[in-house]
Amino acid sequence: DIQLTQSPSTLSASVGDRVIITCRASQSINIWLAWFQQKPGKAPKLLMYKASSLESGVPSRFSGSGSGTEFTLTISSLQPDDFATYYCQQYSSYEWTFGQGTKVEIK
Amino acid sequence: QVQLVQSGPDLKRPGASVKVSCEASGFTFTEYYMHWVRQAPGQGLEWMGWINLNTGDTNYAQRFQGRVTMTRDTSLSTAYMDLRRLRSDDTAIYYCARKYVEGGYSLDYWGQGNLVTVSS
């Protein structure tokens, strides 16, 4: 199955910072990558799909890019509501997989 | 509005089975897949498989093959996930999440999650 590796695992940042999270796939997944945000005790929330398509209702400070094996999620100006754990997820193969997660903490 | 409402928490003994339900409303049930994802305490997300809510076709993650069965009842707009031969490391929150059958979308609505605890 396709492995996804996120970096960093933990990120400390301040409100207003630009934050970039990277997701690398063990083989090409074209653009079939999604990003999710999860807060403690809550279900994940879809942010991006097809690598760079913003899900309806998600603030425009979130953006995604990449194709093939390397992808990024960028938060242009971190807001208090953005402190959470972020997961990438590939849906290129029949066996879907998630990255291990990146926790964005308050600096 | 779209809702996926899952059944309540479960406590099971090792070796037993659990069946988690996911009742859908607010959308056309048969136009979607239902995926199941689990999350062990303090851990990441683990994809388990999907069921096509129209045809009933299924696709399971290899590690759950032979232990999991996903079904649906279109008359009740409800999907089910049955996991057998439970072990302590199956203790997790189990989520259902829908995906539109066409296009390159991912899991846009999720259930609230269902904690399954496996303990003797």
B95 contacts A44? CB cut-off 8 A: yes
Fill in the DSSP letter of residue A55.
P
Helix (H, G, I), strand (E, B) or coil at A82: helix
Q: Are B81 and B94 in contact (CB under 8 A)?
A: yes
- State the CB neighbour count (10 A cutoff) for residue A29: 23
* CA–CA–CA angle B91, B93, B94 (5° rounding): 105
CA-CA-CA-CA torsion for A29, B32, B70, B18, nearest 10 degrees? 100
Q: Are A85 and A10 in contact (CB under 8 A)?
A: no
Beta strands in chain B (DSSP E): 3-6, 10-12, 18-25, 32-39, 45-52, 58-60, 68-73, 78-83, 92-100, 109-110, 114-118
B107 contact residues in A (CB cutoff 8 A): 34, 36, 44, 46, 89
pLDDT digits (tens, 9 = 90+) for B12-32: 999 999 999 999 999 999 999
pLDDT at site B104? 83
In percent, how much of chain A has pLDDT > 90? 97
What would the mean pLDDT of B81-99 be, rounded to a whole number? 98
- Model confidence at A70: pLDDT above 90: yes
pLDDT digits (tens, 9 = 90+) for A28-43: 999 999 999 999 999 9
Instruction: Note which residues in 28-57 of chain B have CB less than 8 A from chain A.
Output: 35, 37, 44-47
* A&B contacts, CB < 8 Å: 57
Q: Are B108 and B98 in contact (CB under 8 A)?
A: yes
pLDDT at site B16? 98
pLDDT at site B50? 97
Q: How far apart are CA A53 and CA B57, in angstroms?
A: 28
Chain B residue closest in CA terms to A43: B112
